[in-house]
Chains A and B, each alone.
Chain A
Amino acid sequence: MTSSEAAAPQASRWNAKSDVIVIGGGHNGLVCAALLARSGRKVLVLEAAVEAGGGARTEEFAPGFRVSSVAHILNRLHPDVVKELSLEAHGLKLEPATHISSVSLSTDDDPLVLTGAYGEGLLGASDKEAAAWKDLRAQLFRYAGILKPFLSRRPPDLGGRMSMAETFALGQTALALKKLGKEDMRDFLRVILMNVADLLDEQLTDNRLKGLLAFDAVLGSHLGPRSPTSLLGLYYRLAGEIGGRAGAQTVPAGGMGAVTAAIVASAEKAGVVLRTDAAVRRIVVENGRAAGVVLESGEEISGSLVVSAADPSTTFLELVGPRELNTGFVRKVGNIRKNGDAAKLHLALDRPPQFAGIDTTGLRGRLVIAPSTDHVERAFNPSKYGEFSPEPVMEITLPSLADPSLAPSGACVLSAVVQYAPYRLREGWDAGKPKFLKAIMNILERYAPGIGKTVRHAELLTPRDIERRYRMPGGHWHHGELQADQMLMSRPVFGAEGYATPIDGLYLCGAGSHPGGGVSGAPGLNAARRIIALER
């Protein structure tokens, strides 16, 4: 290829040699691509689907009804991503007016409402409980704040290959720990690997509140609230922020696809070429170095660097293939736990449902059915043995209330993340799916009587469906379990933990890398920074 081709118009640039090929146009791939393009590189993003976004898309699931098809709540989009990609200038709205509260539903009691950023206010609890929550909330944020700096940079390098700046940042974490004071410090270390249920029992009494916190701690993972280390999930959640407010959450107008649209606009402005319907079959490795990709169509595209936003298992075992890798590494990648437990339900409703004790602003919040810690734990139990929860827990949004464009006039969209739906269902999902849908609808009927009769169309995505449709292996939220043994320098596995991989010129940038999943852009951001530092 000659350099004159670089000046050719966009369409024909696809075949020219790119500086960087990004595999996967999910939000992380796009964030990484945008930052690399802004550093002066020529970047091509190859997305298998007909549309970019991966788990962050808005799609029509019934005539006239559109919904965030996988992720539906935005609670951790990294502030550096928002800033460096100027996402607000590209149409993303994150200001406090768009933030929503969390509502814990119960059949025994009135709903409990956490207002502001993750329960700055608590409505429906006793004064004593409200005071206890205030203390616990402050403590949770203090501790989550210590972990926060770890999330926005590559994991600590034990081999002593850190730059001054990185060492300084790590030092700051140590300093933050020190500033905690002796007692807080001791307590931080005491609780860090605890299960969330025990911690909640130490400090709270209200089942609705404990149920909601327990639910948030285990959302997206194969853990119950009584599983060791489950508290880490809650810290991970609370380390997120929106609009500068830690713990805040929003349902973006236009659905999660609007977030992707803003990222795409920013990326394209930076010069990124996005090509959809372009599934990568293979990463070409020459002399231990990534040299390009081959598409499913057979087309070959060369590039100096290849960055994969696809999950680590697919990237290494299928796209690179074991032959270019060491046996021990293949072993480790093969052992990544990545079977999802979260299903997604989309209902097209004739009209907004009626939840007892909830007014119209409440309905715009995040409605959580997890009435107690025990309830969440019982929901988890069957999943250990390959069965779905007969009494699942879930988080519900009604996005068309705030954004009527998502549904025909007067009608309503319901979007729910439902646990537990083990990827490997023993009876198989063909047989299990109708039964699981029935179980979910039974619960919804209990909380919103009459809802069943208003359903025009129901779409249930099991982890298997999510895997097939969105190329997320195991249908997993994080592209691989986010538990202590698969975090930090062990994410996705040692040997690929710093975004660089055993193949020169091949990097990872998706949810399977540190810090993990959720619509945060953090892996994409960290990867881009790392690539810019290493590949001059």
Chain B
Amino acid sequence: MGKTAKKTSSPYAGRIAARSHFRTLRLDTPFQPRIDALMKQNDWYSWAGYRAPASLWDEELEYFAIRSTAALFDISPMVKYLIQGPDSEAYLDRVTLRDVTRLRPGRVQYTAWCDDEGHVLDDGTLFRLTEDAFRLCCQERHLPWLLDSAIGYDVSIVEETEEIAGLALQGPTSFAVLREADFDGVEHLKVFDLAGFEHQGGTVTISRTGFTGDLGYELFVPANLALSLWDRLMEAGQARGIRAIGYTALNRARLEAGLIVANADFSTAEHALRPDRVRMPDEIGLGFMVDAKKGHFNGRRAIMAARDGKKLRHVLVGIEIEGNIPAEHAIVYHGKKKEVGLVSAAGWSPLAKRNIAIASLVRPYGHTVNDDLWVEIYAMRELKYERLMKRARIVPRPFIKLDRRTANPPADF
């Protein structure tokens, strides 16, 4: 460009400015000073461009913090949108699969949304903060899609990923930690409830949600209140075994809970390059979200046509594998010969005491043909692969079911 080149003003300048995250190669979250102080392993990974801990001190013990005491996990890298305005309910009803008119203020919905072809763009959680305000949390960035979906609606959409910090507090003592931290009234929260609580003159939104299948909460605050919130929880949790954890531990817990992760267990429509990699909700176990009784929503026609025409090609299932060797990314066979799918997540479940996995299969396998399934595991043993053919059985998800997750009132310790 010449010296005289002016900054051009494009009609998309606003959108581009609203998504400047990519200009920093590795972003820090508002909790970084606290996490850095606890990081003993230097085991980082990139979560949507953020420097996030895979493990802080011992992934095994971090996992047991989730299941035995209380685990604190930074979820700030989750992408967040604030959706407000008189048409926000109608707007989200058109964008997402579930019936948003039945989501009351103070409640949370696990949901997903699709493109025109009915292929899943992402899954996430939708928080109804008030009658006219929602927060949508998800794995991928969607601002252009959400803005273009807003044509014809009186609604405003603001990306608030950087502005809002988030923490997941999960585990059997998590309620006790919050009570000890003086969040009065938190005992009234049932699963998928949310409420606002006072913190340092601001508001922290606490919901009884999580990604572990355990008793747990998620907390959202403006970034400037992040560190004081962390300190408040850590202090209150001292006597109740609170521990900061990394993703490796969380990933094991979510597998036990049978929960899927976008772009790990399925490719989102905007990431998939190959035409057969995209997935409809029914192909990744999210068919239950599709509300055929409500009005138009994105992808409706295609989803219904695929159902009617029996054109669904894949299915996502939970499987149990004999033995105890993790089958991560193993190929699934029928009759030991015919390749019928792939394992996307796998591991030994300490809680279920079973070797479990999530796999995507090509129908009819995993759908109507469920016998004679095998996984092929290549286990590296001192520079030699041991090839193991292990029997796999389709089992329901979640792999574990903890009464404490939903118990009311939540258990105190």
Residues of A with Cβ closer than 8 Å to B? 285, 288, 317, 321-331, 334, 495, 502
CB nearest neighbor in B for A330: B151
Q: Does B224 contact A (CB under 8 A)?
A: no
Q: Does B198 contact A (CB under 8 A)?
A: no
How long is the Cα–Cα vector from A331 to B150 in the complex, in angstroms?
11
Closest Cβ of chain A to B154, distance in Å, is 12
Which residues of the other chain, A, contact B153 by a CB distance below 8 angstroms? 322-323
CB nearest neighbor in B for A502: B301
CB nearest neighbor in B for A494: B116
Instruction: Tell me whether A288 and B148 are in contact (CB under 8 A).
Output: no
Closest Cβ of chain A to B63, distance in Å, is 40
Instruction: Tell me whether A330 and B296 are in contact (CB under 8 A).
Output: no
Partner of A327, one of B90, B116, B295, B301: B116
Instruction: Tell me whether A328 and B152 are in contact (CB under 8 A).
Output: no
Q: Which 9 A-B pairs have the closest CB atoms?
A: A322-B152, A328-B116, A326-B116, A327-B149, A322-B151, A331-B148, A326-B298, A324-B296, A327-B298
Closest Cβ of chain A to B19, distance in Å, is 17
How long is the Cα–Cα vector from A330 to B116 in the complex, in angstroms?
10
Which residues of the other chain, B, contact A327 by a CB distance below 8 angstroms? 95, 115-116, 145, 148-149, 298
Q: Does B299 contact A (CB under 8 A)?
A: yes
Instruction: Tell me whether A334 and B298 are in contact (CB under 8 A).
Output: no
How long is the Cα–Cα vector from A288 to B302 in the complex, in angstroms?
12
Most A Cβ at <10 Å: residue of B90, B95, B152: B152
Known: A288-B301, A322-B152, A324-B296. 8 other contacts (CB 8 A): A285-B296, A288-B296, A322-B153, A323-B153, A326-B298, A327-B145, A329-B116, A495-B116
Interface residues of B in 152-203 (CB under 8 A from A): 152-153
Most B Cβ at <10 Å: residue of A288, A322, A323, A502: A323
Which residues of the other chain, B, contact A321 by a CB distance below 8 angstroms? 152
Closest Cβ of chain A to B121, distance in Å, is 10
CB nearest neighbor in A for B145: A327
Instruction: Tell me whether A288 and B300 are in contact (CB under 8 A).
Output: yes
Closest Cβ of chain B to A6, distance in Å, is 32
Q: Does B94 contact A (CB under 8 A)?
A: yes
How long is the Cα–Cα vector from A285 to B94 in the complex, in angstroms?
15
Closest Cβ of chain B to A504, distance in Å, is 9
Given contacts A323-B90, A323-B94, A495-B116, contact A330 B300 (CB under 8 A): no
Which residues of the other chain, A, contact B116 by a CB distance below 8 angstroms? 326-329, 495
Which residues of the other chain, B, contact A330 by a CB distance below 8 angstroms? 148-149, 151-152
12 intermolecular pairs with C-beta atoms under 8 Å apart: A322-B151, A323-B90, A323-B94, A324-B295, A325-B296, A326-B298, A326-B299, A327-B148, A327-B298, A328-B298, A331-B148, A334-B151
Closest Cβ of chain B to A182, distance in Å, is 35
How long is the Cα–Cα vector from A194 to B377 in the complex, in angstroms?
57
Most B Cβ at <10 Å: residue of A322, A323, A325, A326: A326
| Residue-wise interface mask of B (105-135) relative to A, using a CB-CB cutoff of 8 A (1 in contact, 0 not) | 0000000000110000000000000000000
How long is the Cα–Cα vector from A323 to B93 in the complex, in angstroms?
10
How long is the Cα–Cα vector from A324 to B94 in the complex, in angstroms?
8
CB nearest neighbor in B for A332: B116
Partner of B115, one of A285, A323, A328: A328
How long is the Cα–Cα vector from A495 to B151 in the complex, in angstroms?
19
Which residues of the other chain, A, contact B115 by a CB distance below 8 angstroms? 326-328
How long is the Cα–Cα vector from A131 to B212 in the complex, in angstroms?
83
Which residues of the other chain, A, contact B295 by a CB distance below 8 angstroms? 323-324
Which residues of the other chain, A, contact B149 by a CB distance below 8 angstroms? 327, 330
How long is the Cα–Cα vector from A323 to B154 in the complex, in angstroms?
12
Which residues of the other chain, A, contact B299 by a CB distance below 8 angstroms? 326
How long is the Cα–Cα vector from A323 to B89 in the complex, in angstroms?
12
How long is the Cα–Cα vector from A312 to B94 in the complex, in angstroms?
22
Closest Cβ of chain B to A66, distance in Å, is 41
Closest Cβ of chain B to A219, distance in Å, is 29
How long is the Cα–Cα vector from A416 to B148 in the complex, in angstroms?
40
Closest Cβ of chain B to A503, distance in Å, is 9
How long is the Cα–Cα vector from A285 to B148 in the complex, in angstroms?
21
Which residues of the other chain, B, contact A285 by a CB distance below 8 angstroms? 296
| Residue-wise interface mask of B (14-49) relative to A, using a CB-CB cutoff of 8 A (1 in contact, 0 not) | 000000000000000000000000000000000000
| Residue-wise interface mask of B (297-319) relative to A, using a CB-CB cutoff of 8 A (1 in contact, 0 not) | 01111000000000000000000
How long is the Cα–Cα vector from A334 to B299 in the complex, in angstroms?
18
Closest Cβ of chain B to A473, distance in Å, is 16
Which residues of the other chain, B, contact A502 by a CB distance below 8 angstroms? 301
Which residues of the other chain, B, contact A317 by a CB distance below 8 angstroms? 151-152
How long is the Cα–Cα vector from A330 to B152 in the complex, in angstroms?
10
Which residues of the other chain, A, contact B300 by a CB distance below 8 angstroms? 288
CB nearest neighbor in B for A334: B151
How long is the Cα–Cα vector from A317 to B116 in the complex, in angstroms?
16
Given contacts A288-B301, A331-B148, A502-B301, contact A323 B95 (CB under 8 A): no
Which residues of the other chain, B, contact A334 by a CB distance below 8 angstroms? 148, 151
How long is the Cα–Cα vector from A334 to B298 in the complex, in angstroms?
17
How long is the Cα–Cα vector from A507 to B151 in the complex, in angstroms?
22
Closest Cβ of chain B to A198, distance in Å, is 29
Which residues of the other chain, A, contact B296 by a CB distance below 8 angstroms? 285, 288, 323-325
How long is the Cα–Cα vector from A495 to B152 in the complex, in angstroms?
20
CB nearest neighbor in B for A328: B116
How long is the Cα–Cα vector from A351 to B90 in the complex, in angstroms?
63
How long is the Cα–Cα vector from A62 to B157 in the complex, in angstroms?
52
Which residues of the other chain, B, contact A324 by a CB distance below 8 angstroms? 295-296
CB nearest neighbor in A for B151: A322
Interface residues of B in 332-387 (CB under 8 A from A): none
How long is the Cα–Cα vector from A57 to B116 in the complex, in angstroms?
39
Closest Cβ of chain A to B147, distance in Å, is 10
Closest Cβ of chain A to B123, distance in Å, is 17
CB nearest neighbor in A for B299: A326
Closest Cβ of chain B to A505, distance in Å, is 13
How long is the Cα–Cα vector from A58 to B393 in the complex, in angstroms?
77
How long is the Cα–Cα vector from A35 to B363 in the complex, in angstroms?
46
Closest Cβ of chain B to A53, distance in Å, is 31
Closest Cβ of chain A to B187, distance in Å, is 41
| Residue-wise interface mask of B (82-105) relative to A, using a CB-CB cutoff of 8 A (1 in contact, 0 not) | 000000001000110000000000
How long is the Cα–Cα vector from A250 to B132 in the complex, in angstroms?
61
Which residues of the other chain, A, contact B301 by a CB distance below 8 angstroms? 288, 326, 502
CB nearest neighbor in B for A324: B296
How long is the Cα–Cα vector from A22 to B153 in the complex, in angstroms?
28
How long is the Cα–Cα vector from A317 to B300 in the complex, in angstroms?
19
Closest Cβ of chain B to A339, distance in Å, is 15
How long is the Cα–Cα vector from A328 to B153 in the complex, in angstroms?
16
CB nearest neighbor in A for B300: A288
| Residue-wise interface mask of B (261-295) relative to A, using a CB-CB cutoff of 8 A (1 in contact, 0 not) | 00000000000000000000000000000000001
Which residues of the other chain, B, contact A325 by a CB distance below 8 angstroms? 296
How long is the Cα–Cα vector from A321 to B153 in the complex, in angstroms?
10
CB nearest neighbor in B for A325: B296
How long is the Cα–Cα vector from A326 to B149 in the complex, in angstroms?
8
CB nearest neighbor in A for B296: A324
Closest Cβ of chain A to B281, distance in Å, is 15
How long is the Cα–Cα vector from A191 to B151 in the complex, in angstroms?
41
Instruction: Tell me whether B148 and A323 are in contact (CB under 8 A).
Output: no
How long is the Cα–Cα vector from A369 to B119 in the complex, in angstroms?
53
Closest Cβ of chain B to A397, distance in Å, is 40
How long is the Cα–Cα vector from A230 to B148 in the complex, in angstroms?
32
Closest Cβ of chain B to A499, distance in Å, is 17
How long is the Cα–Cα vector from A317 to B295 in the complex, in angstroms?
18
How long is the Cα–Cα vector from A226 to B299 in the complex, in angstroms?
41
Which residues of the other chain, B, contact A495 by a CB distance below 8 angstroms? 116
How long is the Cα–Cα vector from A532 to B301 in the complex, in angstroms?
23
CB nearest neighbor in B for A495: B116
Most B Cβ at <10 Å: residue of A285, A327, A328: A327
